[in-house]
Amino acid sequence: MKKSIFKNLIAFTICAVLFASFSSCSKKSSGDPTPSNGRNAKFTVTVTGAPSSAFISFVMVGLTNDPKEGTVWKVNGVVQNSENSVSLGKNNFNGTTKTYVIESIKPLSAISVGVQCLNVENSPYKISYKAEINGEVKNDEKDFTVTKSTDFTHDYTY
């Protein structure tokens, strides 16, 4: 099951990147709400108390108006060179770091986020997800409890 979910997440990420690449090449209409200089994004994710069998995946993809531009993110203040996507999984939350702040370092014309947190045990864990676009909070899910019967699975486009 985990491999199937991971394959679906990879396929989603590739599709999002391709879609954003092709759509960035088209001429923008005057009614397009996206500013020509793009949007700034900031995501804050926290995972606490996840059991070893938990499936956790946060994927952020961002593209600038220049499809060749690859460096667009920083994670906890560290620039991610030549990366237009950030992927955080279970192993990222095993150590002392439970919270990650992912920020765009350049204005983005396309932003896509995929989140999937599953639990196969009776040991619930908590996640928090906050999305800010141009300083405005778009999503703020605090201390969502992931259980065997309640997952947190969302695809966002900003």
Decide if 30 is inside a domain. Answer: no
What is the count of structural domains for the chain?
1
Q: Read out DSSP for 71-111?
A: --EEETTEE-TT-SEEEEEGGGGSSS--EEEEEESS-BSEE
Residue 28 maps to a domain = no
Predicted local confidence at residue 94, as pLDDT: 87
What pLDDT was estimated at residue 5?
Answer: 56
pLDDT of residue 51: 94
112: closest CA among 158, 66, 45, 43? 158
Residue 67: per-residue pLDDT? 79
Q: Which residue range forms the structural domain that includes residue 13?
A: 2-23+38-157
pTM of the complete model: 0.78
| Under 8 Å between Cβ of 129 and 139 | yes
Q: What pLDDT shows up at residue 119?
A: 96
Q: Which residue ranges in the chain fall short of pLDDT 50? A: 6, 11, 15, 17-34
Q: Identify the pLDDT of residue 73.
A: 97
Looking at residue 92, which CATH number applies to its domain?
A: 2.60.60.50
